[in-house]
Structure 1
């Protein structure tokens, strides 16, 4: 159906403020305290007694020097472990016990706070993992609401740009085929039949489905994760003695205390450590298996405890895990669990699983969702239920506390954010030689939000370093992100010219993306006169056509011209609900992602009309889908808070001197570069062919590894964004018949029955216009020129790592004898596709898919 016909049943001229027909009552927020009838609870009887997976041999954090645990013979890969099923007589009281524990802690806090202003509100209380699971398991399932959720969430997932490609992934993409909608239908069948008879089983199955897509923009966090979190006993790290030899796996505290003399891990729960970890990593959000493998381990830069500790937030299926070490000792450690508390979702009034369902599962308070509909937030990894570096006192190594980027990332960083005072006249945009928590020394310059730090190494080569932790501030309320970023870059490059620095290392390790504008800003300041183009398309299914029609109804050519005149007269910040001409609604429609007004086609022209933009255009071959026109952002349109260098009011920046030659630039990554970071990296790759790349870490297979391994999607849309578009449709178009009403109900996303703390899809596919197949870059894993593993000092000291890489690339005397794979002369040993790991075997995975008895 063409876009012009998508709403042929609706009258675009009849604009109303509200809709009276009953089906759209779903937009109203449900009362969180309303009792909900529970159906289907205990349709299958759980086991009468809990099954213990493993007898605890010993607990604690013994170091390599003193470890003398029970020696066990290696197991074969035929494991008959059963999944733990709670005893009904136990799990029915678990929530009450946890709630009572929290009430006791709060009572202590209240008594302390009355006399001590420094008393700390308890936001987490340690509980036994099995007790936490017992509570979650006691949450009843409401079959009708669960089926309603499945039907409703499918409308959101239709906006996932790769949904058809995931069914039949391109060869060499290392992506397993996944039919998202078909899998949802199977989940619905399991709910109807009673095979899924507990709500938490459904939540886990749905999350597993999305995680298997390996898309950091695609994710869903239920409210339950805000109350209970599971944790591993400690963090692991993967270290090579010289950055070239295959790395070994160590308990983090062992390596930091004893160095390479520490015993390393050889088996986990009886299985070879590499096989167990490769299977465990398969639920990571990066597209590259090496990036997912890296995410298992603790990292100093960026700051992370790793998923072996965070467990993806899943219950591990038992209370202990056993590790076998190279000194032949086997020690069992206890998993951990924490009951959590925040102002929006907490344990108040929860005594039973039914209380949990009514107060938490059905709670519509999307407290972590921003109301912003800002164009240009490419987004990053969908957040885990809590930051990966939780900073809890029980962790072996206390680290800097971090807060999760709610809209933009799930990758915790340890940068600070210096927010200016309220309404400053002249904010301080850059800081010099001040602490920067990512490193032992402060950078020469950093922006006020700590997004980037600029360093100058004390070497004879004259090496400068830009440490780019993200393309967004860690603080969701940060101000002057673009202005501060621009100022810091300008200052840094001016100082590089003054010092005569000729070499530059761009460190994007751990960079999960952020504001698209910042990715383009960095590129344009590096290459002022070079083209800066990044093309994308969206799925043009029925709902996208409806949303595009709504956006066109508001943001017509005439309305857009009037908006530009208004912005030139009063400024973008002056536009609000009272601005004449519905200017604010036009701004939001243009920023929604469904408007053609801020796009340019491959010829540099704005699409002529709605049908030219949204199509839909058919693609066949590998997939059968409909998509929009291939376009790029028009950064000359004045609807962003600050202009990017080279565009708009800063168009003359194209004549600025280029600070570094492209052969004198080295891109350093750990493979987790995602979203806006991939847009920036793609600009480098397409336009600056001689820039070398180094990737750190990955699977110990001595094969090439992708330097850009996170999602290549170029914009994320949260469910809140999509629901806002549905509201716009409801306000603009009044159905006149039942058929018209049903058309909307069947297609546009409506409010879901279950609350959530984060939910998003990847909205845009990044496409190379010269690619005749027009395959999304999400399915292209291209190797770095040079691959190195982490050595002990390279792990702990980034300044050292930068220095050695500088000598390896441009100088002499580097402690790195070369690359583990490839080389720093472009193309040497680094062509072809990233290989799969031939050593990976199917093993038991307690975290996500415990095996049934054989």
Structure 2
């Protein structure tokens, strides 16, 4: 059956957001100036803390220009038409557990509100755009409006009471505690009590509402984002796992001025939202708007003043992890030979991101896999917790390191529409050695059928269109791996001029397991799908406090995120060619501006970051329903204990116990829809 968003969850989320709009505008007129004074008096180089309301009031004091907003919507709509699954989102299959959304219809309503001068300030407009994007629950779809670039780049909301979801033994239903209380569960259990409600709402319902402000497509994966995570902290570059992860204490949107926590023992606690700023330079909403929102200020904008530094090469390692056997400098790949008695015959490869620098990560992973097998390790644990994706070729290459005799399967389609057709036709006429189209997905000459055996005869052959699951779509295709894989970049073992190494499989599929926290997205899902096709099992950790299955791959399953800045360069070259050739008719040239978006530099608002999911991904058994809309339960599920939260080695031991040694899974979590087979073998 369809899992629709619970009405209470939605009401809770709307209540959180509505607290932002009830602050009188008269209070916000000098909020930016107050922030400036406080920051200046403390020294701009320091992070300064102050009441959280000042941040919202400052953002709400920015002006709103209706004509500029309407012009922005008209241009952005052209970009949004490149999103691969617009029609499916309006009427998703029953296997999809998130609510339907009409992105174009919502954008039309935003345009109407802007034209009617219905927005009081820029923040209100930006918030509607952000909520529209979030409603797709697609980590590849995004646009950073200026209000949501200011926070968190120049300011951020936080509080000092992170929460955790803790099970007593990994299979018992977890309860929510403050992190400080959870530390005492073993030594002074009588002194602590779980949280039962927040601001009068059931604690789980309230936290689910918070989780819906981010972009996973699985409710359990979303729930995990509310709490801090060691693996996630690596991706955001923090030294402390409590900083930068966990939406309750590091919210993505204005969370309200405070949260009242009610405990099972009858006590309560008020947690205030704090604003943190650094190098604050703006004395008014107008100056803030001019600097961050107008395109003319692009060159003057300085980002990341509040971003914590990436770990240096002399760091002992990320918090919560034992000392690695080997590691990349940024800890994107770490290998371990654990001494835990429950892991004595296991090797661990932890990969919290596929954002790899080619060379060292690939070599490290390859050498460790081979070495672990030679040293007698019988089991391989691949820890993908927190992995939101990265370089597609990195995932394909890692698969080949484990299964060198198996081919990489990739099958994709884009949404066929006038804009992409104009671009594809123009790109097809660009010289084959043009650097702007090399390795570009819209270059039909570099694409092949999913089995890598046949190419396409023309752009029209690739474009189609074909009606697939209610969407006008391209032909099914894949990147030509032999063409894109080179020793210099995008190395994929055994393709192109990259030698096959290793040549033999080191671990049997039944001796490999994958661990995720549900937030496995993008490249992570492509890798995990390939491994699953060979019989590799997955265990999902955490999620909502209920029995039943959980997906290992709860993030976006799209095959290609297209950064609009990169696509803009292709548009520029394609338009120049179209203007100077006979490829397009006079009517086509007249319609170019109607269907093809302007470069981001010409947008009415400053556009720092924007992207769409360009390609839907399909499995070998189903070339009509995108994998994004197919539920795939992990073979087993366990909840986090407190030890699992602070010590990754205990997480690996728990997973090994469940998957290799018959230790058991959460009730009802095996044999779920889309899983392989029972977890214990």
TM exceeding 0.5: yes
2:34 counterpart of 1:97: yes
Contact 1:156 1:722 in 2 (8 A): no
Cα deviation code 1:342-379 (max 9, x no counterpart): xxxxx44x33322222222114566899xxxxxxxxxx
For residue 505 of structure 1, give the secondary structure of its aligned residue in structure 2.
strand
Q: Point out the more displaced range, 672-681 or 749-758.
A: 749-758
Paired position in structure 1 for 2:180:
253
Paired position in structure 1 for 2:611:
760
The alpha-carbon deviation at position 704 of structure 1 amounts to 0.8
The alpha-carbon deviation at position 231 of structure 1 amounts to 2.2
Structure 1 831/182 Cα, relative in aligned 2: closer, same or farther at 3 Å? closer
Structure 1 79/358 Cα, relative in aligned 2: closer, same or farther at 3 Å? closer
Alpha-carbon distance between aligned partners in 2 of 1:230 and 1:592, rounded to the nearest angstrom? 39
For residue 645 of structure 1, give the secondary structure of its aligned residue in structure 2.
coil
Q: Point out the more displaced range, 93-102 or 320-329.
A: 93-102
> Within 5 Å, which residues of 2 pair with 1:378-457?
401=308, 416=311, 418=313, 435-457=316-338
Alpha-carbon distance between aligned partners in 2 of 1:805 and 1:724, rounded to the nearest angstrom? 46
Contact 1:156 1:749 in 2 (8 A): yes
The alpha-carbon deviation at position 651 of structure 1 amounts to 4.3
TM-score, structure 1 normalization: 0.70
Structure 1 520/832 Cα, relative in aligned 2: closer, same or farther at 3 Å? closer
Structure 1 194/638 Cα, relative in aligned 2: closer, same or farther at 3 Å? closer
Contact 1:418 1:450 in 2 (8 A): no
The alpha-carbon deviation at position 102 of structure 1 amounts to 3.1
Alpha-carbon distance between aligned partners in 2 of 1:182 and 1:613, rounded to the nearest angstrom? 29
Contact 1:86 1:137 in 2 (8 A): no
Contact 2:290 2:297 in 1 (8 A): no
Paired position in structure 2 for 1:665:
512
The alpha-carbon deviation at position 450 of structure 1 amounts to 2.5
Alpha-carbon distance between aligned partners in 1 of 2:328 and 2:629, rounded to the nearest angstrom? 34
Q: Point out the more displaced range, 232-241 or 727-736.
A: 727-736
For residue 416 of structure 2, give the secondary structure of its aligned residue in structure 1.
coil
Q: Structure 1 unaligned runs (5+)?
A: 1-75, 110-120, 342-346, 370-384, 392-400, 404-415, 420-433, 474-480, 560-582, 835-854
Alpha-carbon distance between aligned partners in 1 of 2:132 and 2:14, rounded to the nearest angstrom? 25
- Over the residues paired in the alignment, what is the CA RMSD in angstroms? 2.9
The alpha-carbon deviation at position 528 of structure 1 amounts to 0.6
Alpha-carbon distance between aligned partners in 1 of 2:118 and 2:93, rounded to the nearest angstrom? 33
Paired position in structure 2 for 1:307:
247
Work out which of the residue numbers 379, 388, 391 in structure 2 matches 1:512.
388
Contact 1:221 1:759 in 2 (8 A): yes
TM-score, structure 2 normalization: 0.87
With CA pairs under 8 Å and 6+ residues apart, which has the higher RCO, 1 or 2?
Answer: 1
Q: Which has the larger radius of gyration?
A: 1
Alpha-carbon distance between aligned partners in 2 of 1:605 and 1:79, rounded to the nearest angstrom? 55
Alpha-carbon distance between aligned partners in 2 of 1:365 and 1:769, rounded to the nearest angstrom? 48
Contact 1:786 1:820 in 2 (8 A): yes
For residue 572 of structure 2, give the secondary structure of its aligned residue in structure 1.
helix
Structure 1 494/417 Cα, relative in aligned 2: closer, same or farther at 3 Å? farther
Alpha-carbon distance between aligned partners in 1 of 2:597 and 2:567, rounded to the nearest angstrom? 7
Work out which of the residue numbers 135, 152, 172 in structure 1 matches 2:75.
152
Paired position in structure 2 for 1:85:
22
Contact 1:617 1:628 in 2 (8 A): yes
Contact 2:172 2:666 in 1 (8 A): yes
Contact 2:126 2:146 in 1 (8 A): no
Paired position in structure 2 for 1:116:
none
Q: How many residue pairs align between the two structures?
A: 636
The alpha-carbon deviation at position 759 of structure 1 amounts to 1.5
Work out which of the residue numbers 188, 194, 197 in structure 1 matches 2:120.
197
Paired position in structure 1 for 2:579:
734
Work out which of the residue numbers 286, 293, 314 in structure 2 matches 1:361.
293
Paired position in structure 2 for 1:287:
217
Alpha-carbon distance between aligned partners in 1 of 2:675 and 2:376, rounded to the nearest angstrom? 38
The alpha-carbon deviation at position 635 of structure 1 amounts to 1.8
The alpha-carbon deviation at position 197 of structure 1 amounts to 2.5
Contact 1:239 1:792 in 2 (8 A): yes
Cα deviation code 1:199-220 (max 9, x no counterpart): 1100001101101111011112
Paired position in structure 1 for 2:631:
781
Contact 2:515 2:538 in 1 (8 A): yes
Structure 1 368/325 Cα, relative in aligned 2: closer, same or farther at 3 Å? farther
Q: Point out the more displaced range, 200-209 or 482-491.
A: 482-491
Cα deviation code 1:124-159 (max 9, x no counterpart): 432322222221111111000000111111111111
Contact 2:485 2:495 in 1 (8 A): no
Q: Point out the more displaced range, 716-725 or 736-745.
A: 736-745
Structure 1 79/100 Cα, relative in aligned 2: closer, same or farther at 3 Å? closer
For residue 760 of structure 1, give the secondary structure of its aligned residue in structure 2.
strand
